[in-house]
Amino acid sequence: MKLLIIRFSSIGDIVLTTPVIRALKQQLGAEVHYLTKQGFRGIVAANPHVAKVYTINNKVSEVMSALKEEKYDYVIDLHRNLRSAQVKWGLGAKAYSFDKINWEKWLIVNFKANRLPDVHIVDRYMAAVASLGAKKDGLGLDYFIPPEDEVSVGNLLSTNVLAPQQEAPKYIAFVIGAAHNTKRLPTDKIISICRQASMPVLLLGGPGEADEGKQIADAGGGQVLNMCGLFNLNQSASIVRQAYKVISHDTGLMHIAAAFGKSLLSVWGNTIPEFGMYPYYPEGVNRNTTFEVKGLSCRPCSKIGFQECPKGHFRCMQDISEEAIVRALQG
């Protein structure tokens, strides 16, 4: 059996498809191929359950000829957009898709009417392949780091915050980035948390967070290291894997931290865990502590996010207690 899984973006959404990949390979013995955007190839390229990765930059026409030659038995559409529909139409193979619950999300965002199912998106992904005989195995998420992307954090810390020959201490990985500003803690609150941390703090984010990371590190004291923009995604994942605890907004590295079973402090602003994309651990395990401001009449204001608070007060993040986060770090 040869299958094509489609998920074009983004980091977290792709990581959340890994239980489906594993189940199709291990339970059905399928040859699993994956179609995504070129920028996200590294998320699945090292996955031993994936036989081949196809990528696009902008249009599915870039790969349609190659995909047709594969003669897939089934297509598993875990994105459900116009591009994935074009792939399904072009291949003509029997296809399965997942429930995006867009109507339920629209209702709670616009009318605060909660009709959201109490079902994680991983389980909605798994439902798409249930008729093939694949079942949830309870093993959580996967993330595989190529050996060349492993980071020696001990050397990194020794160079920056330790005396020579001193044993590398535990550290906190703080994921300061997110796709939208309304999903991020204000900079002054991040600085406050870093100042109160009892161990080194490594700031993680992309090039777009580099300046903010420098500002936080400069104000946070010598134990705060700005790693934003210095590492690729797999290298950042390596730093997360070796961390004592991880603080993260609702973003891709949050799900990677869960894949490694890390003790995680997840911070939520305009989005809500009830959308079904909270940290996903193996069955019977929950190492996540959620920080959010419940009871706000304006929350959630979007299923994705904005560059600034539509109401102007940004209470969903401003009212989060730095002291509560610091206490959780010390626990």
Fold agreement between 2-132 and 152-330 = yes
303-323 per-position pLDDT tens digit: 999 999 999 999 999 999 999
Q: Where is average pLDDT lowest: 9-13, 144-148, 165-169, 235-239?
A: 165-169
Rounded to whole angstroms, the Cα distance separating 289 from 265 reads: 5
Beta-carbon count within 10 A of 105 CB: 20
The size of the chain, in residues, is: 331
Rounded to whole angstroms, the Cα distance separating 104 from 149 reads: 40
- Residue type present at position 184: R
Per-residue pLDDT at 300: 98
Rounded to whole angstroms, the Cα distance separating 102 from 92 reads: 26
Residues 221, 182, 239, 21, Cα dihedral to 10°? 170
Q: Does domain 2-132 have CATH number 3.40.50.2000?
A: yes
**Hey, which CATH number is domain 152-330, 3.40.50.2000, 2.160.10.10, 3.40.50.1980, 3.40.50.280?**
3.40.50.2000
Residues 266, 271, 277, 279, Cα dihedral to 10°? 0
279-306 per-position pLDDT tens digit: 999 999 999 999 999 999 999 999 999 9
The answer to whether residue 117 scores a pLDDT higher than 70 is yes
pLDDT band for position 163 (cuts 50, 70, 90)? very low
The angle at the Cα of 78, spanning 75 to 81, to the nearest 5 degrees, equals: 95
Cα torsion angle, 123, 128, 130, 132, sign = negative
The answer to whether residue 57 scores a pLDDT higher than 60 is yes
Per-residue pLDDT at 221: 84
Going by C-beta distance under 8 Å and a sequence separation of 6 or more, which residues neighbour residue 39?
none
pLDDT band for position 248 (cuts 50, 70, 90)? very high
The residues spanned by each domain of the chain are 2-132, 152-330
The pair of three-digit structure tokens given for residue 95, joined into one six-digit string: 């296809």
90-114 per-position pLDDT tens digit: 999 999 999 999 999 999 999 999 9
pLDDT band for position 165 (cuts 50, 70, 90)? very low
CB 216 within 8 A of CB 187: yes
Report pTM. Answer: 0.96
Going by C-beta distance under 8 Å and a sequence separation of 6 or more, which residues neighbour residue 111?
none
Mean pLDDT taken over the chain: 96
